[in-house]
Structure 1
Amino acid sequence: MERSHIGENAIKVLYVDDEPDLNDLAKAYLQSHYGVAVITADSAQAALSLLGDDRFDAVVSDYQMPGMDGLELLVKLRKEMNDIPFILFTGRGREEVVIEALNNGADYYIQKGGEPRAAFAELHHKIKLAVERRRAAVKLRESESRFRGIIENAHAGYFLMSLDGKLLDVNHSWLSMHGMESKNDALGKDLIGFLAAEDKERGSEILEMLLHGECSNPTDLHFRRKDGGTGIYTLTASPVIEGLGFLGVEGFCFDVTEVRSIAEELGSSRKRHDELFRTMDEGVAMHELVYKDGKAVDYIILDVNPAFERILGIRREDAVGRLATEVYGVPKAPFLSQYESVAENGIPLKMEVHFEPMNTFFDISVTSSERGKFSTLFFDTTKSKVMTEEIRAQSDEIQTQNEQLQAQREELMETYDKVVRSNHQLKDSEEKWKSVIDATSDGVVEYDLCTDRIIVNPRIRSLLGYSVGDITLRMEQMVALIHPEDRPKMEQRLKRYLHGEAELFHSEHRVQGQDGRYYWTMVRMKVIERDEGGKASKMLGTVQDINASKIAEEALRTANRKLNLLNTITRHDLRNQLMILQGNVTILREMLKGEEQLNCLKRMDKTLSNIEHHIEFTKLYDNLGSERPRWHDLSQLSRRVLRSAKTEGVSLQIDIDGLEVYADPMLEKVLHNLADNSIRHGGNVSRIKLHWYQEGKDAVIVYEDNGRGIPAEYREHLFEKGKGHNTGLGLFLSREILSITGIGIDEAGDEKGARFRMKIPEGSFRLKAASNG
């Protein structure tokens, strides 16, 4: 056995359980394997006494104890403001116990059972996590205290505002920025009251936005000071949210009065520069190189003056922010190598060039004040040449335009042909769509919100037993057919969907049929058309018959109630005792060395494993009814199950081809139990036969073997829990599985063999040929 030393800083745990053996086992495991100091208590009252006299890092408690149970102990500790980590360690597996424990402040919930090493390893892990989390919380409170010190000494003005706009807290910098000496001068006053008149309206809008939980960008506002002066403060704030609650607003103010004054002076200087830039006769443009793999491949035009537009005939909005190759319509940026040289080394350059795309001569001066960027100042030196070239260019342009017009005419003709073909295709598509709608097994509905008109396919009418003339096509009359209890929820979901609060309109509700009965339907619809204002004008969707599904859900709930009863009776007490035995066997194995003793322990292990197998068998009841019933191909299912049930050497006669049964997914467990009973208890069974016949509107499935039959004394209580050979649970479980969908079972055999009959009501069986038709 692994041993761990209990050090001075070891976690100290109070372990509470009314079973002394389990207390001793837990103490032995936690102390020897994990170095946890454990003090045990056999009741909640004893635990409260120990908690008052000593310090513990965590409490581990059983749930079911005489007097005060584990949950009551937890509630009492939390009412006394004791936040010690609390772990519920119990064999009770009910979901409501788990929820109540966690709602009352339990840190973790662990279910007993299984192999002791794994159980106590998980318990130790949860103890460690809970203790570390609590220690982290203590450190967080200390961190918050330090954070408060930082806020108080920050240079920026800090404020905390309530939901009604009142100041709840400010720091010393806030007081200093507003010329105040004491927090009493600020606390309880409206933050808006500190704003200058020109910013009160804008400040109110910002604070209103913050008080609705939205964040704001840093904003400059004019604040009044106590001495009558004003200052420009940058306000940055955000909502204070704790959990799901909105508590108020907090933020900082930065005095930027001097910075804004300097910015105004810079702005004036920039205005003078911009005026000169706009009035120059020479064209001016500023650029930035574009690199690829370390080499300039193009340049972006950053800004141009009016002369640039006048000289080149390129509008500012068509040039700024675009690549030179795009602006000038050339594959390579003009004069790129010369511009790159200036932008890289900063040496100015003056040159006369001929720009072939414009057939123009320019005098260009190039300068650079920042690496990678350059400016050009240019003017036209060949006005006469330009005029001649312009005439030629205009002629070429006219020719080009004519070609473009011809190309556009051809394109329009091609587009017209495509539209004609599309109209024909659309008509064909509409006819196909109508055929699909009429043939689908689900109902299809189209709702015109403008005319309140509904178009449905024949499936909806047949679904509810109406003829073509029996159902109206107005929305208000359709709504009147919906069950009164379901109508408000359906209308609310439709309203939410039309307001954009859901991606799909989905509703499950009951609709009155021709016979006056209500049938469950599921409706899914989406908007397919909207008007010019974006409002929904037409919806399309499907209507599905889910009446059988709803009946199945009720059957599942009934099954789960039955299973919970059995689960409560068996697992809790058995798991506690089994865990004690397994734990002590494990300890003995580590202590004993003799071969005969170890063999004895192995036999005990096997016995305990068998017991645990029987306990796990009850878990089948947790699954019983947990899934919806479905249609089973009984021929395929029976062949697969019977061949896997150790039936070697037994003749299998299965005569149920084409029969499908609506039953719980655990139907195969029923067939397996019947075959297992034949092999185990039927003697020399050499034949198993499965066939069916119709009895009125019901179907009867017969399972029979040629064994020695079931003794008369067992038949009366054959399907009761605990009766028969072995555990007596197999046939009890089989009856419960079948009853979920109303299937009955009885035994009508004799000394020639066992004979079980399963009676299936109308609607729960079908033939493949009928279902596929």
Structure 2
Amino acid sequence: MPDTMEDTTKPDKSHKWELLLKPGVCWFIWVYEDRIEFCLPSGEISSSSEYMDIEGSFPPDIAFLLHEIIRDAQEMVPGDAKKIVLAIPGTDSGWPGHLFRLSSGRFSLVWTKNGNGGAEPDSCDLLDHIRSEKAVRKANEKLNYFNAIVRHDIMNLMMGINGYIDIIDEIVDDDEVHLLIRKSRDLGERILRIAELTRTYQDLGIRPPSFIEAGQAVQRIINRHEFSGKIVSDVQLNGLFLYVDRMFDVVIYEIVRNSLQYGGEGVTITVSLDKVPEGLALVFEDSGPGVHPDFKERIFSRTYADRKGYGLYLASEILDLTGIGIRETGIYGKGARFELVFPPDTYRFGP
């Protein structure tokens, strides 16, 4: 009977991309207008050097965090170095390292051991960083829960107030009192709209961003029942993927709703792409009256007095979570033109 021996070797459960973040691994990084590439000196992971793009080598959330780290390093001057931590919010996963600026658009990055292990006393305290991330996420969850309770109480109280207003309206026969009652009802409806708004936006930034197919997202909003038969659309976004917050649908909805609100039924909305110095612009153009030059920036402000809601302000806040800008560049009298400006690391083309 042949001798048998139990295999006690533990399988390697790490993902392939985690090998690229092991302590001691060195990257050389090239930053281009539309992508970021890196390579490892031969012998680091394999016997030969090869160029890799961050999106193709890492999961979307890790790729986004790496882009953020490298984008923040653009202000470094050649010869500068700084400590960095690639930490996934809400998890215990993280990797510290040292980033060096070599020249324009060129960096080197060395992944190091966790400072709590004692091997590198000068490295970042990774565990403290992760604990802070988890504490912030937990606090946000509690704030959202508290927000839901307060909203529920406000709406119940407003129902009671409106009931009393209806009773007063029936028993009082005075034109001035009826005028005050109508104004009170208008204020009550505004309070209810604001309270309902908190329901829509309470999850802002809670879930990590991800790549979405832009054409499908835009078409999904345009095809909603409330817009059916009211707008004419032309969407030209073949093959574009955008790295955005999970509430990006709300941004599209607010822009489309704004065009319908001011352009009226039958308004034409064209969605296309435009190359801009900052990266790529996702452009929404309509056939409405456009925006007066004095209001082009104010319409995105929280304190804009003439708005009919907070849609464009909150849309700009959602976009800002992933470093995306929004501006209005249309010609007044010929239609509105909203440009959503995506930096090079927040979009790509292909499957």
- 1:638 is aligned to 2:218: yes
Output aligned runs, 1:137-156, within 5 Å.
none
Q: Which amino acid aligns with 1:467?
A: P
Alpha-carbon shift at residue 589 of structure 1 (Å): 6.2
Alpha-carbon shift at residue 703 of structure 1 (Å): 0.5
Contact 1:464/1:512 (8 A) holds in 2: no
- 1:688 is aligned to 2:265: no
Match of 1:616 among 181, 192, 196: 196
Q: Which amino acid aligns with 1:466?
A: L
**What is the percentage of aligned positions where both structures have the same residue?**
21
Alpha-carbon shift at residue 610 of structure 1 (Å): 4.3
- 1:756 is aligned to 2:335: no
Output aligned runs, 1:262-661, within 5 Å.
412=1, 441-444=16-19, 465-469=39-43, 507-512=93-98, 515-517=107-109, 582-586=159-163, 608-644=188-224, 645-661=226-242
- 1:739 is aligned to 2:314: no
Deviation per CA, 1:326-361: give whole Å up to 9, x if none.
Answer: xxxxxxxxxxxxxxxxxxxxxxxxxxxxxxxxxxxx
Q: Which residue of 1 aligns with 2:304?
A: 723
Q: CA RMSD in A?
A: 5.2
Output aligned runs, 1:29-68, within 5 Å.
none
Q: Which residue of 2 aligns with 1:377?
A: none
Once residues 329 and 169 of structure 2 are traced to their aligned partners in structure 1, the CA distance between those partners, rounded to angstroms, is: 55
Contact 1:698/1:762 (8 A) holds in 2: yes
Alpha-carbon shift at residue 519 of structure 1 (Å): 6.1
Once residues 731 and 676 of structure 1 are traced to their aligned partners in structure 2, the CA distance between those partners, rounded to angstroms, is: 10
> Per the alignment, in what secondary structure is the counterpart of residue 615 of structure 1?
helix
Once residues 189 and 271 of structure 2 are traced to their aligned partners in structure 1, the CA distance between those partners, rounded to angstroms, is: 35
Q: Which residue of 2 aligns with 1:710?
A: 291
Once residues 166 and 299 of structure 2 are traced to their aligned partners in structure 1, the CA distance between those partners, rounded to angstroms, is: 42
Once residues 724 and 592 of structure 1 are traced to their aligned partners in structure 2, the CA distance between those partners, rounded to angstroms, is: 30
Q: Which amino acid aligns with 2:337?
A: R
Alpha-carbon shift at residue 595 of structure 1 (Å): 12
Alpha-carbon shift at residue 581 of structure 1 (Å): 6.0
Alpha-carbon shift at residue 657 of structure 1 (Å): 1.7
CA pair 584-467 structure 1, distance change in 2 beyond 3 A: closer
- 1:675 is aligned to 2:256: yes
Q: Which residue of 2 aligns with 1:310?
A: none
Output aligned runs, 1:107-256, within 5 Å.
none
CA pair 604-768 structure 1, distance change in 2 beyond 3 A: same
CA pair 705-510 structure 1, distance change in 2 beyond 3 A: same
Alpha-carbon shift at residue 698 of structure 1 (Å): 1.1
Number of aligned residue pairs: give it: 258
Once residues 201 and 209 of structure 2 are traced to their aligned partners in structure 1, the CA distance between those partners, rounded to angstroms, is: 15
Alpha-carbon shift at residue 670 of structure 1 (Å): 1.0
Once residues 113 and 238 of structure 2 are traced to their aligned partners in structure 1, the CA distance between those partners, rounded to angstroms, is: 32
CA pair 511-686 structure 1, distance change in 2 beyond 3 A: same
Once residues 112 and 214 of structure 2 are traced to their aligned partners in structure 1, the CA distance between those partners, rounded to angstroms, is: 28
Deviation per CA, 1:508-536: give whole Å up to 9, x if none.
Answer: 221347844466999xxxxxxxxxxxxxx
Once residues 706 and 616 of structure 1 are traced to their aligned partners in structure 2, the CA distance between those partners, rounded to angstroms, is: 30
Q: Which amino acid aligns with 2:193?
A: H
Q: Which residue of 1 aligns with 2:67?
A: none
Alpha-carbon shift at residue 756 of structure 1 (Å): 0.8
Alpha-carbon shift at residue 715 of structure 1 (Å): 2.1
Once residues 633 and 733 of structure 1 are traced to their aligned partners in structure 2, the CA distance between those partners, rounded to angstroms, is: 22
Contact 1:442/1:459 (8 A) holds in 2: no
Contact 1:721/1:728 (8 A) holds in 2: no
Q: Which has the higher contact order (CA 8 A, sep 6+)?
A: 2
Match of 1:766 among 328, 336, 348: 348
Q: Structure 2-normalised TM-score?
A: 0.56
Q: Which amino acid aligns with 2:244?
A: A
CA pair 442-694 structure 1, distance change in 2 beyond 3 A: same
Once residues 592 and 737 of structure 1 are traced to their aligned partners in structure 2, the CA distance between those partners, rounded to angstroms, is: 42
CA pair 628-604 structure 1, distance change in 2 beyond 3 A: same
Once residues 461 and 603 of structure 1 are traced to their aligned partners in structure 2, the CA distance between those partners, rounded to angstroms, is: 65
Once residues 295 and 183 of structure 2 are traced to their aligned partners in structure 1, the CA distance between those partners, rounded to angstroms, is: 32
Q: Which amino acid aligns with 1:631?
A: F
CA pair 459-693 structure 1, distance change in 2 beyond 3 A: farther
Deviation per CA, 1:14-62: give whole Å up to 9, x if none.
Answer: xxxxxxxxxxxxxxxxxxxxxxxxxxxxxxxxxxxxxxxxxxxxxxxxx
CA pair 469-702 structure 1, distance change in 2 beyond 3 A: same
Once residues 461 and 739 of structure 1 are traced to their aligned partners in structure 2, the CA distance between those partners, rounded to angstroms, is: 29
Alpha-carbon shift at residue 695 of structure 1 (Å): 3.2
Once residues 113 and 210 of structure 2 are traced to their aligned partners in structure 1, the CA distance between those partners, rounded to angstroms, is: 18
Q: Which amino acid aligns with 2:160?
A: G
Alpha-carbon shift at residue 484 of structure 1 (Å): 8.4
Alpha-carbon shift at residue 465 of structure 1 (Å): 3.8
Once residues 266 and 96 of structure 2 are traced to their aligned partners in structure 1, the CA distance between those partners, rounded to angstroms, is: 52
Once residues 754 and 674 of structure 1 are traced to their aligned partners in structure 2, the CA distance between those partners, rounded to angstroms, is: 10
Q: Which residue of 2 aligns with 1:478?
A: none
> Per the alignment, in what secondary structure is the counterpart of residue 641 of structure 1?
helix
Alpha-carbon shift at residue 622 of structure 1 (Å): 3.6
Once residues 755 and 441 of structure 1 are traced to their aligned partners in structure 2, the CA distance between those partners, rounded to angstroms, is: 44
CA pair 621-584 structure 1, distance change in 2 beyond 3 A: closer
Once residues 712 and 485 of structure 1 are traced to their aligned partners in structure 2, the CA distance between those partners, rounded to angstroms, is: 43
Unaligned runs of 5+ in 1: 1-411, 427-432, 448-453, 473-482, 487-505, 523-549
Contact 1:508/1:521 (8 A) holds in 2: no
Once residues 110 and 213 of structure 2 are traced to their aligned partners in structure 1, the CA distance between those partners, rounded to angstroms, is: 30
> Per the alignment, in what secondary structure is the counterpart of residue 341 of structure 2?
strand
Q: Which amino acid aligns with 1:730?
A: G
Contact 2:96/2:112 (8 A) holds in 1: yes
> Per the alignment, in what secondary structure is the counterpart of residue 763 of structure 1?
helix
> Per the alignment, in what secondary structure is the counterpart of residue 623 of structure 1?
coil
CA pair 596-627 structure 1, distance change in 2 beyond 3 A: farther
Once residues 593 and 682 of structure 1 are traced to their aligned partners in structure 2, the CA distance between those partners, rounded to angstroms, is: 39
CA pair 513-682 structure 1, distance change in 2 beyond 3 A: same
Deviation per CA, 1:225-278: give whole Å up to 9, x if none.
Answer: xxxxxxxxxxxxxxxxxxxxxxxxxxxxxxxxxxxxxxxxxxxxxxxxxxxxxx
Q: Please say which structure displays the higher CA radius of gyration.
A: 1
Contact 1:511/1:518 (8 A) holds in 2: yes
Contact 2:19/2:45 (8 A) holds in 1: no
Contact 1:722/1:729 (8 A) holds in 2: no
Contact 1:464/1:519 (8 A) holds in 2: no
Alpha-carbon shift at residue 624 of structure 1 (Å): 2.0
Deviation per CA, 1:477-498: give whole Å up to 9, x if none.
Answer: xxxxxx9898xxxxxxxxxxxx
Once residues 677 and 724 of structure 1 are traced to their aligned partners in structure 2, the CA distance between those partners, rounded to angstroms, is: 16
> Per the alignment, in what secondary structure is the counterpart of residue 443 of structure 1?
helix
Alpha-carbon shift at residue 654 of structure 1 (Å): 0.7
Once residues 290 and 278 of structure 2 are traced to their aligned partners in structure 1, the CA distance between those partners, rounded to angstroms, is: 30
Once residues 173 and 289 of structure 2 are traced to their aligned partners in structure 1, the CA distance between those partners, rounded to angstroms, is: 42
